Amino acid sequence: MKLGINIRNMGPQSSREIISACAVTADREGLDSLWIVEHIAIPPDDAEGSGGRYLDPLITLSYLAGITERIKLGTGVLILPYRPPVITAKLIATLQELAQDRLKLGVGIGWMQSEFKALGVDMRKRVSDSERVLQFLNEAFDNDVVEQNEQSFIFSPRPVRPPIIVGGAAPHAIRRAIKYGDGWMPMRLKPDALKPIVEGYREQAKAAGKSEPEVVAISRLPLAEPNQCRELLEAYEDAGATTLVHGQKYDQAAELQDAIGKLVLIA
């Protein structure tokens, strides 16, 4: 099982200095991946902890790609119904090429009603809008020439398509992952709840010709208790997680850098 870290791209912890220090440390210490989230329009009454400040995930990962060397760069998750297919595919392709194929594209359908309202996006159509983006992403990365709105055009740059990890609850997110993606990102399920779902997911994926789907689990690991932490890591691996992403609150870069060091030593 591979290990990743969540880096806060929101609130005061999303300063250039803090995100840079955390990303470089994670890269240097050998973690497999770093992940950041997406929000675009946070209302004042829901801004606790962030102050409504969120860095755009694709631009942030583009910046982090330039200061790291090998670590994979993940969106956890990019909210698809907020984004038009062609522009989104162009941004993703550009980032994937400049990052030398290190992008891991976690995607979701969104949940914050006030954010949909602010963006003028119909929340009732979020599934169909999301699947429209996913369909185009697969077409674009498979073809030099694609078509939208009855107009054909060249899709370039066209690097290797990043793995698409579909976030959300079973069974709907799993069906979406099998049809359009390469993996599933459950929302904070504990190992005992995760295991039977992953077993079913892998059976369905195999039947669809996808024999090795990724499962990216997110958890706050008890790093202060090494034995307990190892047991939890083993439990997630036994449950079928292929990547475990540790997330925690922190105010300064040194706090997350310390957590990265402990995670590497424990694992």
Q: Say if residue 211's pLDDT is above 90.
A: no
> Going by DSSP bridges, is the β-strand pair 151-154/145-148 parallel, antiparallel, or unpaired?
antiparallel
Residue 222's pLDDT band (boundaries 50, 70, 90)?
Answer: very high
> What does the pLDDT read at residue 260?
98
pLDDT in tens, 57-110: 999 999 999 999 999 999 999 999 999 999 999 999 999 999 999 999 999 999
> Which domains occur in the chain, in start order?
2-266 (3.20.20.30)
pLDDT the model gives residue 188: 85
Reported for 171-177, long-range contacts at CB under 8 A and 24+ positions apart, including other chains, are 172/127, 173/108, 174/200, 174/201, 174/204, 175/204, 176/130, 176/131, 176/134, 177/201, 177/205, 177/213
Q: Residue 138 carries which side chain, given as an amino acid letter?
A: N
CA angle 133, 135, 137 (to 5 degrees): 70
Exposure of 57 by Cβ count < 10 A (0-12 exposed, 13-18 middle, 19+ buried)?
Answer: buried
pLDDT (tens digit, 9 = 90+) per residue, 107-151?
Answer: 999 999 999 999 999 999 999 999 999 999 999 999 999 999 999
- Pairing verdict, β 2-6 and 33-36: parallel
